[in-house]
């Protein structure tokens, strides 16, 4: 018996040694391959530098190779060199050093036009207004500069100054102003306030540092104002910091509630995130509104609310980004933003919709098929929810869709350009809640827009013209020419007719652009709520719950 035990111990020891040896061998093989490939890369660069027909910028070549290497993994793993650290700060903090204004360069004059100063920004405090034309930045003529070059000159270290030589949009006066740059923070909350039927509304556009605290304060304020229900609008919110998402959920659930689990490559690499703060209200009815552009941290919040049966989710299925990024410092002050884990909602589902690890031969990736999706149960009511495809709302509500000409007018900035023109000519307008695009304003817009260059064809006419081109290539056009021409004539409208037929939709965007010039992003968001049919339908469903 003793001998058998000794043999067993021996065998265990052998297995352990073999296991260690196998692990060490794998590590040695990986190190060898890494060394071999780095040496090969160095040899290629050395040969290019020495013998390529044109001069080679090795540093640029290396950076291009790094970006290409990382793109083969997923869209979220990125190399951020030292000179782009401001982009990293903007990504994580929504902050940058500058004057705080959106600008654009128009080809007709090549000047920098102020589109919209941000509320309480140095630009706004210095008197910059929509429509102001900047001629010189720190004495440098802006005409030869690109929009990006102009923007970089306006940005800089907080506390430094920038001198602008400009022509005022209102009045045409030429003047010089000196603006002291500040740290510009783009707030997570676009607007919050009370809607009808004692509904408190919060439009959240990101999850940056400190954002959850402002959301907490907004909920407290709404409750003081009499809110009996809360709507958290996360539509088109691309996400942000995971910790901020957890803190946002903590507003509505008991302290110590599990919100999300993060799992890395190794079995032991698991992190569980629970709420660490006392809630504001665990009982107030809550609705989260999402769409196909709600991603990452937005999905963490939405998934937790749904899995915990804490609230109602309405809208469209979310984007499906269940990947977590972390930051790794590199040499020469570079930073590697890399995917380090996947996250899982309280029920255990991962919402990642695209499998980047299994690419097709052409390099493309596909979505996870329905046959591979797994069923999970919500933690209180036991409702069925599924992984692998974003968060599917409890109530699917279609997003607003518009005619082709509407997208053309907005996409070509016709509405925004008219808004600047309107701002120059009108010193004030009604409040965002009361402002409307009346006949007078819309007639002015039609007169203005009719003189602008944009594609006003209907989708049906554009498709017919494509079919006609195909018919000509296939030799079928002449046989049906009369039919094609007749149909084309019926589908053709003038530019003014197209604008008149789509007045309601165009007025929605036009009004938002005009209000933004007077009341900033907050006013624009408040105004837009009135014509947001998806949101109105969602609230209608929300109000019916429990009746």
Contacts made by residues 372-376, CB under 8 angstroms, sequence distance 24+? 374/349, 376/307, 376/347, 376/348, 376/349
- The pLDDT assigned to 222 comes to 98
Nearest Cα to 66, choosing from 363, 330, 354? 330
- Buried-state track 506-516, b at ≥16 Cβ within 10 A, e below 16: bbbbbbbbbbb
Residue 205 contacts residue 189 (beta carbons within 8 Å): yes
The answer, yes or no, to whether residue 299 has pLDDT greater than 90, is: yes
Instruction: Note the pLDDT tens digit of each residue in 429-479.
Output: 999 999 999 999 999 999 999 999 999 999 999 999 999 999 999 999 999
- Region 47-71: mean pLDDT is 89
Q: Confidence band (pLDDT; 50, 70, 90) for 368?
A: confident
- Region 386-412: mean pLDDT is 95
Instruction: Note the pLDDT tens digit of each residue in 167-212.
Output: 999 999 999 999 999 998 889 999 999 999 999 999 999 999 999 9
For 231, the enclosing helix (H) or strand (E) is strand 229-233
Identify whether 296 is a catalytic site residue: yes
- The pLDDT assigned to 471 comes to 94
- The pLDDT assigned to 37 comes to 82
- The pLDDT assigned to 421 comes to 97
Tokens 């979310």 sit on residue: 318
CA atoms of 49 and 41, how far apart (whole Å) = 12
Cβ atoms < 10 Å from Cβ of 130? 25
Share of the chain above pLDDT 70, in %: 91
- Region 478-487: mean pLDDT is 93
Identify whether 268 is a catalytic site residue: no
Higher pLDDT, 78 or 5: 78
| Per-domain boundaries in the chain | 95-185, 189-396, 404-544
The answer, yes or no, to whether residue 22 has pLDDT greater than 60, is: no
- Region 223-235: mean pLDDT is 98
Higher pLDDT, 361 or 303: 303
Give the dihedral of Cα atoms 248, 529, 223, 120; nearest 10 deg: 70
The answer, yes or no, to whether residue 19 has pLDDT greater than 60, is: no
What six digits make up the tokens of 21?
Answer: 């040896």
Instruction: Give the class (CATH, top level) of 189-396.
Output: alpha beta
68: left (phi over 0), alpha (psi -120 to 50) or beta: alpha
List CB contacts of 187: < 8 A, sequence separation 6 or more: 94, 211, 214
- The pLDDT assigned to 23 comes to 52
- The pLDDT assigned to 443 comes to 98
Sign of CA pseudo-dihedral 66, 68, 72, 76:
positive
Tokens 């490939």 sit on residue: 37
Residues paired with 161 in a beta bridge: 180
- Buried-state track 311-321, b at ≥16 Cβ within 10 A, e below 16: bbbbbbbbbbb
List CB contacts of 31: < 8 A, sequence separation 6 or more: none
CA atoms of 405 and 493, how far apart (whole Å) = 11
Higher pLDDT, 370 or 508: 508
CA atoms of 97 and 90, how far apart (whole Å) = 10
CATH number of 95-185: 2.30.42.10
- Region 337-361: mean pLDDT is 89
Nearest Cα to 317, choosing from 301, 287, 297, 295? 295
Instruction: Note the pLDDT tens digit of each residue in 71-126.
Output: 989 999 999 887 776 666 666 565 788 999 999 999 889 999 999 999 999 999 99
Nearest Cα to 376, choosing from 350, 348, 353, 395? 348
CA atoms of 160 and 179, how far apart (whole Å) = 8
Give the dihedral of Cα atoms 120, 123, 126, 131; nearest 10 deg: -120
Identify whether 321 is a catalytic site residue: yes
CA atoms of 512 and 490, how far apart (whole Å) = 33
- The pLDDT assigned to 88 comes to 63
When the pLDDT of each residue in the chain is averaged and rounded to a whole number, the result is 90
Nearest Cα to 322, choosing from 247, 384, 262, 257? 262
Fill in the DSSP letter of residue 79: E
- The pLDDT assigned to 331 comes to 87
End-to-end CA distance of the chain: 75
Phi, psi of 53 (to 5 degrees): -60, -35
Q: Which one from 229, 258, 321, 495 is the annotated catalytic residue?
A: 321
What six digits make up the tokens of 397?
Answer: 């509500």
DSSP codes of every residue in 336-388: EEEEEEEEE-TTS-----B-TTS--TTS---BPPGGG--EEE-TTT--EEESS
Q: Which one from 94, 101, 150, 296 is the annotated catalytic residue?
A: 296
DSSP codes of every residue in 471-507: HHHTT-TGGGHHHHHHHHHHH---HHHHHHHTHHHHH
Tokens 């390099």 sit on residue: 363
Q: Confidence band (pLDDT; 50, 70, 90) for 526?
A: very high
- The pLDDT assigned to 18 comes to 44
- Buried-state track 419-439, b at ≥16 Cβ within 10 A, e below 16: bbbbbbeeeebeebeebebee
Q: Confidence band (pLDDT; 50, 70, 90) for 7?
A: very low
The answer, yes or no, to whether residue 16 has pLDDT greater than 90, is: no
Share of the chain above pLDDT 90, in %: 73
What six digits make up the tokens of 189?
Answer: 């909350």
- Region 412-419: mean pLDDT is 97
Higher pLDDT, 396 or 372: 396
Higher pLDDT, 326 or 206: 206
Instruction: Note the pLDDT tens digit of each residue in 238-285.
Output: 999 999 999 999 999 999 999 999 999 888 889 999 999 999 999 999
- The pLDDT assigned to 13 comes to 39
């Amino acid at each position: 018996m003793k001998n058998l035990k000794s043999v067993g111990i021996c065998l265990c020891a052998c297995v352990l040694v073999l296991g260690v040896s196998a692990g060490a061998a794998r590590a040695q093989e990986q190190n060898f391959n890494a060394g071999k490939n780095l040496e090969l890369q160095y040899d290629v660069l050395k040969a290019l530098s020495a013998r390529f027909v044109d001069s080679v910028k090795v540093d640029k070549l290396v950076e291009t190779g790094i970006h290409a290497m990382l793109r083969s993994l997923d869209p979220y793993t990125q190399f951020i060199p030292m000179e782009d650290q401001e982009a990293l700060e903007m990504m994580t903090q929504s902050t940058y050093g500058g004057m705080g204004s959106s600008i654009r360069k128009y080809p007709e004059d090549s000047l920098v036009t102020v589109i919209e100063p941000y509320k309480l920004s140095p630009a706004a405090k210095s008197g910059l207004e929509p429509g102001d034309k900047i001629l010189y930045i720190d004495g440098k003529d802006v005409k030869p500069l690109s929009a990006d070059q102009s923007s970089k000159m306006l940005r800089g270290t907080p506390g430094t100054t920038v001198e602008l030589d400009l022509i005022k949009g209102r009045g045409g006066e030429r003047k010089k102003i000196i603006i002291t740059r500040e740290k510009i923070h783009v707030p997570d909350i676009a607007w919050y306030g009370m809607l009808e039927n004692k509904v408190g509304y919060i439009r959240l556009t990101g999850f940056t540092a400190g954002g959850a605290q402002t959301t907490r304060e907004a909920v407290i304020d709404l409750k003081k104002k009499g809110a009996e229900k809360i709507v958290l609008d996360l539509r088109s919110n691309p996400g942000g910091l995971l910790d901020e998402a957890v803190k946002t959920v903590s507003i509505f659930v008991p302290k110590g509630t599990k919100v999300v689990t993060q799992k890395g490559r190794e079995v032991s690499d698991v992190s569980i995130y629970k709420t660490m703060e006392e809630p504001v209200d665990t009982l107030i009815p809550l609705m989260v509104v999402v769409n196909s552009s709600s991603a990452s941290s937005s999905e963490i919040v939405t998934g937790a609310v749904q899995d915990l049966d804490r609230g109602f989710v309405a809208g469209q299925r979310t984007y499906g980004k269940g990947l977590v990024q972390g930051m790794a410092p590199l040499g020469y002050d570079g930073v590697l933003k890399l995917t380090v884990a996947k996250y899982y909602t309280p029920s255990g589902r991962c919402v990642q919709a695209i499998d980047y690890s299994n690419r097709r031969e052409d390099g493309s990736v596909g979505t996870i098929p329905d046959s591979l999706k797994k069923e999970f149960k919500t933690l209180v009511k036991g409702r069925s929810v599924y992984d692998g495809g974003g968060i599917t709302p409890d109530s699917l509500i279609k997003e607003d869709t518009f005619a082709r000409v509407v997208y053309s007018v907005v996409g070509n900035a016709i509405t925004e350009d008219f808004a600047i023109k309107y701002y120059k000519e009108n010193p004030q307008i009604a409040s965002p809640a009361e402002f409307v695009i009346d006949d007078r304003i819309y007639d002015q817009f039609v007169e203005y827009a009719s003189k602008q260059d944009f594609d006003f064809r209907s989708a049906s006419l554009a498709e017919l013209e494509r079919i006609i081109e195909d018919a000509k290539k296939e030799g079928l056009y002449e046989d049906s020419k009369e039919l094609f021409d007749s149909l084309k004539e019926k589908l053709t409208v003038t530019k003014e007719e197209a604008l008149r037929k789509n007045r309601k939709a165009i007025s929605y965007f036009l009004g938002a652009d005009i209000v933004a010039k007077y009341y900033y992003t907050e006013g624009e968001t408040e105004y837009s709520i009135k014509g947001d049919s998806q949101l109105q339908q969602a609230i209608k469903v929300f109000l019916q719950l429990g009746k």
